[in-house]
Structure 1
Amino acid sequence: MTEQPKALKLTVLLVSSLTIMSMVTISPALPQMSEAFKDIPNAEFLVKMVLTLPALFIATISPIAGQLIDRYGRLKLLYVSMVLYAVAGVSGFFLDDLYVLLATRALLGVAVGVSMTVVNTLVADYFEGPARQKFVGIQVAFMSLGGILFIGLGGVLADINWRYPFLLYLFSLVVLPLALKYLYEPERAPRPVPGEVRKKSPGIIWLLFVNVMVMWILFFMIPVQVPFQMVEIGIDSNSMVGAAIALSTLFSAVSSFSYSRMKDKFSFYSIFAAGYLLMAAAFVIVAMAESYLMVTLAMMLAGLGMGMMIPNTNIWVMRIAPVEIRGREIGRLTTFWFLGQFLSPILLLPVSRSYSISNTFYFAAIALLVISVFFLLMQISSSRKPAVQ
C-alpha cells in the first residue's frame, strides 16, 4: 500500500487543502463585514467570530468523527462532509443575518472536523514507512501553499465585495468528483470480539496531543499579534503585513517538503527540539525588531520551525496508533490542533494588554526555548530506544 496512483495522491492533497482554506479565505473581507454589520451590537467581535468559530467546532467534532470512521468506514463520511462544506461555506454569500451566518460557520467547522480527520486517516491507510513519511511532508507543504493561494484569491474577491470570497467554498464540489472516482475504502480492521483486550496507543501519544496544542497556541501569535507589532514599529501597510505573514507560510512549505530527508537523519525528538529552537529565535527577533527586514527574517525562521514540526507530529501519531483505532486517535490529534488555534488569542491577548506585544514575544520565546530543551533531554534519555527513532 506504499505506492499509489498519482491521481489518488493529487485528490488527497486537494481534499487536504479544504482545511486551510476554511480558515483563511474570508480573512481579507473582515473589515468590510464589520462595516456591513455595524448596526448590530458587538458587531466587530461577532465578525471576528465568523473567522474563528469553525476552529471550536472542528475541535469538538473531530474525536466523534474519528470513532465514526473506525466503525463505519472513511469515504461515505468524507462525501457528506464535502457537500456540507460547500453548502455551509457558500451561504455567507447569500445571508444578511449575522447570527445565521455564525450558525453556518459552526456547520462549516463540523464539515472540516470530519473531512480533516478522514483525509489524515486515509493517508495513514494508503501509505506506509518512507512513502508515508514523504507524502505527509508534501501534504503539509501543499496545504501551506494552498493557504497563500486562497488568502490571495480572497483578497482579490473582497475588493469587489465582502460576500464574494464565500464563493470559494464551492471548490469542495470541484474536488468531490475526483474523490468519488479516485479514492477507495481501505480494508477495515476486524471488530474486537467480546472479551478481547481493546487496542490502546502508547501513553506518549498524549504528549503529542498536548504538544500540538501548545505548538499552535504559540505559532498562532504570528497572524494574531505580528500585525500589531509591525504597526508599533511604524509599518502600517496591509500589503506588507500580509506579505510578511505569507512568508512564514511559504517557508513552512519549504521545510515540510524537506521533512522526509530530515526524518531519515534525525529522530522525532530531535526534530521537535530543532523546530522549537527556530521558533524561539524567530520570536526574539520579532520582539527586538526595528525594521521590516528583521520581521521578515523572523517569519522565515518561524516558518522553517513550524514546517518541520507539523509533519513530525502527524507521522508519529500515524506510526504508533493501532490500525483498529487509528481514526479515533487522528480525530483527537485534530481536536488538540484546532483547540490550540482557538485558545491562542484567548490566552495571549490578556498578556499583551498587561505588558506589551514585544514582551509577550519575549515570554513566548522563553517558553519555546524551554520546550526545545525538554525535547533535547527526551532525545538524550531515549537514545537507546529505537522505537522513537
Structure 2
Amino acid sequence: MILALSVPALVVAVTAPFAGRIVETTGRKTVLILSLVLYLVCGLAPFFLNDLNHIIATRVGVGLAESGFMTASTTLIGDYFKGARRQHWLVVQTSTASVAAVVMMAVGGALGEFGWRYPFVVYALPLLFIPLVLVLIREPKAEAHEVGGKFPWWKVIPLYVLGLFVAILFFVVPIQTPFVLTARGMGSAQLIGLTSAAGGIAVPIGGLIFQKLSRLNLFQVLAIAFALIMMGLLLFVGNGSYGVTCAGIVIASLGCGMTLPAVLTSIMAKLDFEQRGRGTGGWQTAFFLGNFASPVIVLGLTAKLQGLENALLMLSVVSAGALALSVIAAILSAAIKPKVRVYVMPPQ
C-alpha cells in the first residue's frame, strides 16, 4: 500500500525530462490534454479494481499523467508571461497546489467514510478541466528574440540541485506532522487534519511574501526562507506543547512557500521558448525526487540519531548551514555584480 501511495512521485521524477522533450516537440496543449485524459482513466481505475498489483499499475499511469500535465502547464506559464506577471503566476501555481492538496485531503477523508474506494472519485476532476483546456488554452509560438540554441545546462543544473534540496525540506513538515503529534498524544484525526491544514495554508502565504521581496536576489530570498525553516523546525521539536508545535509548522511552511517559486522563477528566467519544456521537466524531476527522498532521509536520520525529534533537530542544523551559505552567496554576488540580480522581475 505504501508503494501505491509513493510510486507516482517516483514516476514523475524519472519521466519528467522525457515529458519536457515531448512538450517541446509535440506541443504544450496536446500533452496537457492527453495527460489529463490519462489522469482521469488511471486515477478512477482503483474504484473498480480489487487486485493490489493492478492498482499499483494504475498509480504508475497517474505518475505519467502528472509528469505530463505539470510539465506542460508550468511551461505554458513561462510561455504566456514574462517579468513580474510570470513570477505572479508561478507563485499562484505553487500556492494553488498546496491549497488544493489540503482541500483534496479533506474531501478524500470525507469520502473515505463510505469505503476505501470512494476517495478515488476525486480523480474525476479532469472531466471539468479537459473542456476548459480545449476552449481556453492556445498553443503558444516562439517570439522573434527566442531563437533557442544550446540548452544552458551549466546555468540550470545548480538550480536543480538547489531545487532538490529545498524540496526535501519542503516535505519534512507535512509528512512528519502526524507522527510528531501522535507521539505527543495529540493523534486524533481531526486535530492532525486541522494542523496540517494550517501548514498547507502557510505555504501560499510564503509565496506572497516572496512576491513582496522580488526586488531581492535569489540568495537574499533564500537566506530569509532558510532562517524561517530553521526556526520553524526548532519550534516543531520545541517543548512538546501543541501551541509551540503548531507555530513551528506554520513558520517552517512560510519559509518553504518562499523557496519553491524563488528557485522556479530563476530557472524559467534562463530558458528560451525551445528550451522551456526540458527545463521545466528538469525542475519536476528535482522536486519529485525531493518528495520521494524526504521521508527516506528523515527515516534514516531517525534510526541513526535514535529519535524523530533528533532527526528534525539535525535538519534545523542543515537549514542553518544553508542560511549561512545563502548569506555568503548574497554578499559575494553583491560584491562581484552589485547592479545585477540573479533574476529580474520588471513590471509589465
TM-score of Structure 1 vs Structure 2, range by shorter chain: over 0.9
Distance, in Å, in 1 between the alignment partners of 2:175 and 2:89 is 30
Distance, in Å, in 1 between the alignment partners of 2:4 and 2:239 is 31
Provide the residue aligned with 1:186 in structure 2: 140
User: 8 Å contact 2:174–2:199 — kept in the other structure?
Assistant: no
Residue 114 (1) aligns with residue 68 (2): yes
Question: Per the alignment, do residues 219 and 121 of structure 1 end up closer, same or farther by CA in structure 2, a change over 3 Å counting?
Answer: same
Amino acid at match of 1:272: L
Instruction: Map 1:247-286 onto structure 2 (within 5 A).
Output: 247-264=198-215, 266-286=216-236
Distance, in Å, in 2 between the alignment partners of 1:223 and 1:134 is 24
User: 8 Å contact 2:173–2:253 — kept in the other structure?
Assistant: no
Question: Per the alignment, do residues 48 and 132 of structure 1 end up closer, same or farther by CA in structure 2, a change over 3 Å counting?
Answer: same
Amino acid at match of 1:132: R
227-236 or 305-314, which deviates more: 227-236
Residue 294 (1) aligns with residue 244 (2): yes
Instruction: Map 1:188-207 onto structure 2 (within 5 A).
Output: 188=142, 198-201=149-152, 203-207=154-158
Distance, in Å, in 2 between the alignment partners of 1:259 and 1:142 is 15
Residue 131 (1) aligns with residue 131 (2): no
Instruction: Map 1:1-389 onto structure 2 (within 5 A).
Output: 47-188=1-142, 198-201=149-152, 203-264=154-215, 266-354=216-304, 355-383=306-334, 384-385=336-337, 386-389=340-343
Cα shift at 1:231: 2.2
Distance, in Å, in 1 between the alignment partners of 2:279 and 2:142 is 16
Show CA shifts across 1:152-172 (max 9, x none): 100100111111110110101
Amino acid at match of 1:183: I
- Paired residues, what number? 338
Cα shift at 1:183: 0.4
User: 8 Å contact 1:201–1:322 — kept in the other structure?
Assistant: no
Show CA shifts across 1:112-171 (max 9, x none): 001000000000000011111122122222222211111110010011111111011010
Distance, in Å, in 1 between the alignment partners of 2:212 and 2:72 is 26
241-250 or 168-177, which deviates more: 241-250
Amino acid at match of 1:55: A
Distance, in Å, in 1 between the alignment partners of 2:153 and 2:271 is 8
Provide the residue aligned with 2:346 in structure 1: none
Cα shift at 1:343: 1.2
Cα shift at 1:242: 2.0
Distance, in Å, in 1 between the alignment partners of 2:238 and 2:209 is 29
Cα shift at 1:387: 4.1
% identity of equivalent residues:
29
Cα shift at 1:219: 2.5
Distance, in Å, in 2 between the alignment partners of 1:135 and 1:242 is 28
Distance, in Å, in 2 between the alignment partners of 1:258 and 1:219 is 16
User: 8 Å contact 1:189–1:324 — kept in the other structure?
Assistant: no
Structure 1: state its 5+ residue gaps.
1-46
Distance, in Å, in 1 between the alignment partners of 2:297 and 2:257 is 23
SS, match of residue 185 in structure 1: coil
Distance, in Å, in 1 between the alignment partners of 2:60 and 2:224 is 36
SS, match of residue 240 in structure 2: coil
TM-score, normalization by structure 2: 0.93
User: 8 Å contact 1:199–1:324 — kept in the other structure?
Assistant: no
SS, match of residue 160 in structure 1: coil
Distance, in Å, in 2 between the alignment partners of 1:134 and 1:246 is 23
SS, match of residue 214 in structure 2: helix
236-245 or 116-125, which deviates more: 236-245
Show CA shifts across 1:343-371 (max 9, x none): 11222212213311110011000001101
Structure 2: state its 5+ residue gaps.
344-348
Amino acid at match of 1:50: A
Cα shift at 1:322: 2.6
Show CA shifts across 1:152-200 (max 9, x none): 100100111111110110101210000000000001479x99xxx9423
SS, match of residue 281 in structure 2: helix
Distance, in Å, in 1 between the alignment partners of 2:218 and 2:111 is 41
Distance, in Å, in 1 between the alignment partners of 2:289 and 2:307 is 25
Show CA shifts across 1:184-231 (max 9, x none): 0001479x99xxx94232624212111111112223222332322222
Computed over aligned residues only, the root mean square deviation of the Cα atoms, in angstroms, reads: 1.8
Show CA shifts across 1:305-343 (max 9, x none): 011111111111110123221110110000010011111
SS, match of residue 152 in structure 2: coil
